[in-house]
Amino acid sequence: MLCQLCEEEKKLTKAHIMPDSMNRVLRAVLGDDPNSPMLTIEKGSGKTKPYPMGVYDKTIICGSCDGTFSPWEQHATDILFTKHQWKDGRYDRAGHPACYTLLNAEYGALKLFALSMLWKTAASDLPFCRGVTLPPEKTEELRRMLVAGDPGPASQFAVRIAHFYAVDAPMTFESHMEHIDGIEYAVMYVPGYKIAVQVDDQQLPASHAFVISPGSEIRVGLINFVGSPERRAVEKMAAKL
């Protein structure tokens, strides 16, 4: 079958949309068996869906291409989870946590992780991924960047990372499109984090915070899970029980 990344006829592999290492992190937080289903919530309806082996697609990529994503996925797993280190926590005017500086993060590897996750999401027809749609030219632009291992400048598929705090329902959510400050983003989730990648061609305003940039400290925004749209989706799910 045709690999959608290298565009060669090859045997395709089971490609996890969210890296399996992060699936295992979620299960560990829940105190579940490593082989237990990952439970996700559809943000709009509050419906839950179990994924026994995480979310994966066997129709988009060959094993060798999927392997090129591994260093980026490992870097993201390290800095966001297993070796998470930060400094310089800041608060807003109301005294609520606002952001922090992520230590040991590399712009190239972290951004390529986000772009690889976006590409797999956009290329897949899985229900988990259908909330994200990109025009063919954007998908091709992403494909070329990943094949070249080129994260591009900060303004090309700009990436923002937010960290939820006060999480009282450790679940993940389906990907979707979202407007933030008038900019169109594809939004994806890994346990405890919200990753947004700009998918339109608007120029980012100077005040647009938390876009990761080469040569700069990587700032991670903080979101109070209580009162967030994601928490409201959990409430919808609970109301159906």
Instruction: Give the pLDDT confidence of 18-42 residue by residue, as tens digits.
Output: 887 777 665 565 455 545 444 555 5
Residue 180 reports pLDDT greater than 90: no
Output the pLDDT for position 122.
Answer: 96
Question: Exposed (0-12), middle (13-18) or buried (19+): which is 148, by Cβ within 10 Å?
Answer: exposed
How much is the pLDDT for 76? 95
Q: What is the pTM of this model?
A: 0.87
The pLDDT of residue 134 is above 70: yes
Is it the case that residue 169 has pLDDT exceeding 90?
Answer: no
Provide the pLDDT confidence category of residue 207 given band limits of 50, 70 and 90.
confident
Residue 221 in this model has a pLDDT that exceeds 90: yes
| CA proximity to 143, closest of 61, 57, 204, 212 | 61
Asked whether residue 233 carries a pLDDT value surpassing 60, the answer given is yes
Q: Where are the domains positioned within the chain?
A: 69-240
- Give CA separation, 6 vs 9, 63, 117, 201, 224, in Å: 9, 11, 16, 26, 40
Q: What confidence score (pLDDT) does residue 213 get?
A: 94
Give the C-alpha separation, 103 to 89, whole Å.
Answer: 12
Write down the pLDDT at residue 145: 98
Sign for the CA dihedral angle at 169, 50, 172, 35 comes to positive
Residue 218 pLDDT more than 60? yes
Q: What phi and psi values does residue 38 have, to the nearest 5 degrees? A: -85, 130
The two three-digit tokens of residue 27, written as one number = 């299960």
User: Which pLDDT belongs to residue 39?
Assistant: 52
Distance CA 65, CA 47 (A): 33
Separation between Cα atoms, residue 138 and residue 185, nearest integer Å = 13
**Phi, psi dihedrals of residue 92, rounded to the nearest 5°:** -85, -175
